[in-house]
Amino acid sequence: MSISQNHFISPNQLLFFIIQTQIGIAILQLPIDMFKIVKWEGWIAVIISGFCLQLLALSYLFIVSRWPQPSFFTLTKKGLGNIIGNIVNFLYFVYFIIVGTHILTLYYETISVWLFPETPKLFILLLIVIAAVYLVQEDLQLIARFYGIVSILLILIIVVQLTSYSAAQPLNLLPLGLNSPLDYIKASTLSIQSMLGFEIVLFLYPYLKGEYKKIKLMTVFAIGITTTIYVFTIISSYLFFSPDEILLIPHPVLYMLKAFTSSFVDRLDLLFISVWIVSVSTSFMTYLFLASLYVKNTLPIKRRKPAVPFVALIMLIVAMQYESNLEIEAFGDFMHMISPIFFLLLPLILGIAVFIRAPKKEAMS
């Protein structure tokens, strides 16, 4: 199986790929989600889960590098046998659809509340879906380059938040250590959910060109950057709102920007949303890409690109079914419930299987 040149990405591109996939929807809600469990110590939970993810991602790399395959889906078949492998692959496909749909529903909810209450849902979703289909039909390298370019916008995400520091109340972050260890664990598992996207190293590994060491380094680095941005975001909103107030506000990051106006930017929150939409689309694009990768590897067409619009259509149709906030929340809870199967349980089983079957590191077969 030969892969042409522009299918490959470099470790540096992997860095942006991971960051852009991780940072997305959750950045708006993370502060309040954490607050509900561990109050103003939410940032500690994020740091803990950041470390856990580093370990997870490194163990992923360890698994996939032991037995290099043209794709993750062939690795599951080799490791777990054809039948189970196929089932697992299909489950992953469903999982990608679910995550993609989840991104779409949350994105719509936010946009309709903050920006376009009157615009029909279909068109708001189409905006992001069309752009995603257009890009994901290109080669992997192009997608990675796009992610690299839009990563400049992450600087804006940080700079915009700095405005709120004029009204910061440092005492909001104290006292420390009022929570039980169980609460920290609960909060950390929840914040891992908001950092989903690191699992793409499993799927991208066959497309990476570069030293293994450098790949490891960039993966660690990427998760570190995401964690830092999340911690900064959480701390900014905790400094701005008093503890009981934050519980009323589902999107604290946007809300705090409403309090500031300047002569040249009337509404900073809209500026933030515009940047945030790009981050959301990149997360969506990744899952669209992964789902199309499955189609290529499973169906007899053997080509990825024609599958993209169809996969996107499935996500769009499912996302259109969820209307009320409660339904969207229930869908999100469902996703949080099943996602550990995919980023923890299945890779673990696969890792054990690979370890049994391939005790020694093999070259590309």
Partner 1 sequence: MRVILFILCILLCTSCWDARQLRDITVVKASAIDVSEEGHIILSVASLVAASDQRSAAIQIESAIDHSERGARLELESRYSESIDFSKLRTLFVSNKVAENDIYPYLDAYYRSPRGALASKLVIVDGLASQIINIQPTDRPHTSELVADMVHAGEQQTLIPITNIQLVCPFFFDDGSDALIPVVKLENGKPVLNAVAIFNNKQMSGTLNLRESKLILLMKGAKQSRALLVNQVNDSNEGENIENFISYKVEKAKSSLKVDVDPSADKVTARVNTKLEINVLEFPHDKLTEPGVIKDLEELLTQQLTDEALEVFKKLQEANCDALGVGKRVFAFHPSYYEQKSWKERYPSITIEPSIQVEIVRHGVLD
Q: How far apart are CA 349 and CA 254, in angstroms?
A: 41
* Radius of gyration over every alpha carbon of the chain, rounded to an integer in angstroms: 20
Q: Quick one: tokens of 35?
A: 């607050």
Per CB under 8 A, the list member of 115, 142, 153, 328 interacting with partner 1 is 115
Q: How far is the CB of 139 from partner 1 (least distance, A)?
A: 16
Question: Would you count residue 146 as binding partner 1 (CB under 8 A)?
Answer: no
Note whether 30 and 198 are within 8 A (CB).
no
Question: Would you count residue 117 as binding partner 1 (CB under 8 A)?
Answer: yes
Q: Which is nearer to partner 1, 240 or 342 (CB)?
A: 240
Question: Would you count residue 147 as binding partner 1 (CB under 8 A)?
Answer: no
For 319, half-sphere exposure in the C-beta direction (CA atoms, 13 angstrom radius) is: 28
Q: Which is nearer to partner 1, 81 or 309 (CB)?
A: 309
Which span (98-106, 118-126, 194-202, 203-211) binds partner 1, by CB under 8 A?
Answer: 118-126
Per CB under 8 A, the list member of 90, 134, 310, 334 interacting with partner 1 is 134
Per CB under 8 A, the list member of 169, 274, 325, 365 interacting with partner 1 is 169
Per CB under 8 A, the list member of 83, 175, 356, 361 interacting with partner 1 is 175
Q: What is the 3-state secondary structure (H, E, C) of 49-103?
A: HHHHHHHHHHHHHHHHHHCCCCCHHHHHHHHHCHHHHHHHHHHHHHHHHHHHHHH
Q: Which is nearer to partner 1, 191 or 237 (CB)?
A: 237
Question: Would you count residue 300 as binding partner 1 (CB under 8 A)?
Answer: no
Question: Would you count residue 162 as binding partner 1 (CB under 8 A)?
Answer: no
Q: How far apart are CA 156 and CA 90, in angstroms?
A: 38
Question: CA distances (Å), 268 to each of 46, 124, 141, 167, in order?
Answer: 26, 21, 33, 15
Query: Which residues in 66-95 contact partner 1 (CB under 8 A)?
Result: none
Which span (1-9, 25-33, 71-79, 174-182) binds partner 1, by CB under 8 A?
Answer: 174-182
Q: Quick one: tokens of 324?
A: 């009320």
Q: How far apart are CA 117 and CA 82, in angstroms?
A: 49
Q: How far is the CB of 236 from partner 1 (least distance, A)?
A: 14
Q: Quick one: tokens of 160?
A: 């915009």
Q: How far is the CB of 38 from partner 1 (least distance, A)?
A: 14
x/- binding map, residues 34-53, to partner 1, per CB under 8 A?
Answer: --------------------
Per CB under 8 A, the list member of 116, 221, 232, 355 interacting with partner 1 is 116
Question: Would you count residue 274 as binding partner 1 (CB under 8 A)?
Answer: no
Q: How far apart are CA 195 and CA 193, in angstroms?
A: 5
Q: Is the peptide bond before 175 cis (omega within 30 degrees of 0)?
A: yes
Per CB under 8 A, the list member of 259, 301, 313, 352 interacting with partner 1 is 259
Per CB under 8 A, the list member of 146, 205, 240, 342 interacting with partner 1 is 240
Using CB under 8 A as the binding criterion, the count of chain residues that bind partner 1 stands at 32
> Which residues touch 114 (CB under 8 Å, ≥6 apart)?
251, 254, 269, 270, 273
Q: How far apart are CA 252 and CA 296, in angstroms?
A: 41
Note whether 106 and 24 are within 8 A (CB).
no
Q: Which is nearer to partner 1, 59 or 169 (CB)?
A: 169
Q: How far is the CB of 36 from partner 1 (least distance, A)?
A: 15
Which span (22-30, 114-122, 150-158, 278-286) binds partner 1, by CB under 8 A?
Answer: 114-122
Q: Which is nearer to partner 1, 178 or 330 (CB)?
A: 178
Q: How far is the CB of 178 from partner 1 (least distance, A)?
A: 6
Note whether 42 and 50 are within 8 A (CB).
no
DSSP state of 179: S
Q: Quick one: tokens of 134?
A: 């257009």
> Which residues touch 314 (CB under 8 Å, ≥6 apart)?
97
The residues binding partner 1 (CB under 8 A) are 113-120, 123, 126-127, 130, 134, 167, 169, 171-172, 174-175, 178, 240-245, 248, 256, 258-261
